[in-house]
């Protein structure tokens, strides 16, 4: 998209939403949307009240009663169709993501591609909701497990991946026979309208019940309805650790299930044998890409002291070539931060880092784009830190890469694991045993551990999520579907006798 006037931008949004199949009003509502690209307000759309949200849960709960009876491969047709529509409207939805999250068009469309990919995976999964059969200890008995839908799944998603993470949850939940009530970030309500409209079309095209998919728009207050309503069997929430601390006990107190994908503080270790040019590219994309606003962003670099100066010089030089600006300009690699709050957090973290002995090697300063005071662009920062400091234990959702050095490999692993979060991790090495140790039980303690690629940009085929304060949940591929189902263990006796297990005698 070329850089346009504000009015042209509004027209682009209307056209993209219309192309996705959104037929509602844009304007006159209470939920103000805006774009971080210019900091300007967009449309004020209709928000959802708590009463309406509760009604949506009721509708989804009612729809569940028949959706769970629909054969899973037929449920798969809905996500198949959704994937087709997403492919057709990749650019339309990508534009909305770009406008609200400030991503380059390549990254924004990449996000929609993640949606298409998970639809493919979930379609296949709809024929593979496998349960096990185990040998029974009793003659003439069959022991097995079957998987059943659980009910309404509440999905709470964040601004930085406004549609992809929603689709990981939704595609899996739908084929598993659950219904979905989605509360997206209020920062990305327009992208949500587009993604939701495409799913509504897919449901209509397949002749299924529209009530299996519901959309709640608004701030955290309205989202809280999902935490407390006992009809919401699973709450899948993506966001800060602070949010997770609130979600988990509230949902647990009513014995609901939760799936959390919270903060990361992802590190890369670079060992003396590493291919430094490859490491450089992996590090710069992971640390500065998406303006440091991925939960998988690389925030810490732990480099062997013998190569630290060489690698750091290369990183600083590469950072100086990064194009920062309005992401509608296709030569731009680093777009805006979400808002002033994100910018202030970054400045505060840099100040603290300096107080704790940090040396800012590049970046941190604001970049004015079009002389606008309303948007917040920054030069991504690299900060050389002493081995021990508190600030590196915190996740700041901005492009700051803290660099530390090590001399002994075990020390590198200890530094790596010394933070409360545990999402993603990487090692750059050509030494096989270092790579294997990093992936072993005494290596990285994260949910994702990579060799010779950065910490971000995971494919949907693997399970996505992390340990410790990241919350322990797993979404997306592998066997993550099991979180959206309940397991039933079944013993069938066809012996005509009634032998008891463990050889117990009775009557």
Give the contact letters, 454-473, x = binds to ligand UN1 (CB under 6 A), - = no: --xxx---------------
Between 90 and 384, CB nearer to ligand UN1:
90
Q: Which of the stretches 344-352, 427-435, 437-445, 452-460 binds ligand UN1 when contact is defined by CB under 6 A?
A: 452-460
Mention every residue, 6+ apart, whose C-beta is less than 8 A from residue 36: 100, 101, 102, 335, 336, 337, 338, 339, 375, 376
Specify the DSSP class assigned to residue 389. -
| Shortest distance (Å) from residue 159 CB to ligand UN1 | 10
Site residues for ligand UN1, window 400-429 (CB under 6 A)?
Answer: none
Residues 179, 147: contact at Cβ < 8 Å? no
111, 114, 261, 395: the catalytic one is 261
Examine residue 48 and tell whether it contacts ligand UN1 (CB under 6 A).
no
* Cα–Cα distance for residue pair 492/9, rounded to 1 Å: 63
Nearer to ligand UN1, 77 or 185 (CB): 185
| Segment holding 410, helix H or strand E | helix 409-417
Provide the token pair at 35: 């774009």
Which residue, 35 or 160, has its beta carbon nearer to ligand UN1? 160
CB-nearer residue toward ligand UN1: 236 or 296: 296
Q: Which listed residue (294, 300, 304, 416) binds ligand UN1 by CB under 6 A?
A: 294
Which is nearer to ligand UN1, 102 or 151 (by Cβ)? 102
Beta carbons of 72 and 56 less than 8 angstroms apart: no
The β-bridge partners of 463 are: 476
Which of these, 454, 9, 22, lies nearest to 198 by C-alpha position?
22
Q: Is 161 in the site for ligand UN1 (CB under 6 A)?
A: yes
**What's the farthest any 2 CA atoms get from each other in the chain?**
88
Site for ligand UN1 in 100-119 (CB under 6 A): 114
For ligand UN1, the binding residue among 38, 104, 125, 160 (CB under 6 A) is 160
Site size with ligand UN1, rule: CB under 6 A: 11
Residue 474 makes contact with ligand UN1 by CB under 6 A: no
- 446 part of the interface to ligand UN1, by CB under 6 A: no
φ, ψ at 469 (rounded to 5°): -70, -5
Collapsed DSSP state (helix, strand, coil) of residue 165: helix
Which of positions 170-199 make contact with ligand UN1 (CB under 6 A)? Answer: none
Tell me whether residue 100 is one of the annotated catalytic residues: no
Using CB under 6 A, pick the residue from 13, 165, 349, 350 that binds ligand UN1.
165
In a 10 Å sphere around its CB, with 0-12 CB exposed, 13-18 middle and 19+ buried, how is residue 232 labelled?
A: buried
- Nearest distance from residue 448's CB to ligand UN1, in Å? 8
DSSP, res 324? B
What does residue 201 show for φ and ψ, rounded to 5 degrees? -65, -40
If one asks whether residue 238 binds ligand UN1 (CB under 6 A), the answer comes out as yes
Contacts of 178 (CB under 8 A, 6+ apart): 64, 67, 68, 149, 150, 151, 152, 153, 233, 234, 484, 485
Question: Given the rule CB under 6 A, which residues bind ligand UN1?
Answer: 114, 160-161, 165, 238, 294-296, 456-458
**Active-site residue set:** 261
């Amino acid at each position: 998209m070329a850089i346009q006037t504000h009015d042209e931008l509004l027209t682009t949004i209307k056209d993209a939403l219309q192309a996705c199949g959104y037929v509602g009003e844009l304007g006159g509502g209470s939920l103000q949307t805006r774009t971080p690209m210019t900091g300007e307000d967009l449309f004020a759309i209709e928000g959802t009240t708590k009463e309406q949200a509760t009604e949506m849960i009721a509708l989804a709960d009612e729809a569940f009663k028949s959706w769970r009876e629909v054969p899973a491969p037929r449920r798969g047709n809905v996500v198949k169709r959704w994937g087709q529509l997403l492919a057709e409207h990749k650019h339309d939805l990508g534009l909305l993501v770009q406008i609200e999250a400030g991503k380059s068009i390549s990254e924004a469309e990449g996000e929609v591609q993640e949606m298409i990919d998970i639809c493919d995976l979930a379609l296949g999964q709809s024929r593979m909701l496998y349960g096990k059969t185990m040998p029974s200890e009793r003659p003439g008995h069959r022991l097995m497990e079957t998987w059943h839908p659980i009910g309404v799944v509440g999905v709470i998603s964040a601004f930085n991946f406004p549609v992809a993470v929603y689709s990981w949850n939704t595609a899996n939940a739908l084929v598993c026979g659950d219904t979905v009530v989605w509360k997206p970030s209020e920062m990305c309500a327009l992208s949500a309208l587009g993604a939701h409209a495409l799913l509504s079309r897919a449901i209509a095209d397949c002749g299924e019940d529209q009530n299996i998919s519901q959309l709640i728009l608004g701030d955290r207050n309205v989202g809280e309805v999902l935490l407390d309503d006992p009809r919401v069997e699973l709450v899948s929430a993506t966001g800060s650790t602070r949010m997770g601390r609130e979600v988990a006990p509230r949902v647990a107190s009513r014995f609901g299930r939760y799936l959390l994908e919270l903060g990361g503080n992802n590190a890369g270790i670079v060992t003396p044998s590493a291919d430094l040019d490859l490491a450089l590219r992996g590090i710069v994309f992971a640390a500065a890409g998406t303006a440091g606003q991925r939960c998988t962003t690389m925030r810490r670099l732990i480099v062997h002291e013998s190569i630290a100066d060489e690698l750091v010089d290369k990183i600083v030089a590469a950072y100086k070539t990064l194009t920062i600006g309005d992401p509608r300009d296709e030569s731009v690699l680093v777009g805006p931060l979400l808002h002033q709050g994100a910018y202030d957090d970054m400045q505060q973290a840099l100040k603290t880092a300096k107080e704790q002995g940090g040396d800012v090697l590049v970046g941190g300063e604001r970049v004015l784009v079009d002389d606008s005071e309303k948007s917040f662009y920054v030069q991504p920062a690299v900060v050389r830190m002493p081995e021990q400091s508190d600030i590196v234990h915190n996740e700041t959702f901005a492009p700051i890469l803290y660099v530390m050095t090590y001399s002994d490999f075990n020390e590198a692993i200890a530094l790596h694991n010394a933070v409360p979060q545990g999402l993603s991790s990487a090692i750059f090495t050509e030494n096989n045993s270092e790579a294997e140790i990093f992936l072993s039980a005494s290596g990285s303690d994260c949910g994702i551990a990579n060799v010779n690629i950065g910490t971000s940009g995971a494919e949907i085929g693997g399970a996505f999520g992390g340990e410790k304060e990241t919350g322990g949940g797993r979404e997306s591929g592998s066997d993550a579907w099991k979180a959206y189902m309940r397991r039933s263990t079944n013993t069938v006796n066809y012996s005509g006798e009634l032998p008891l297990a463990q050889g117990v005698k009775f009557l």
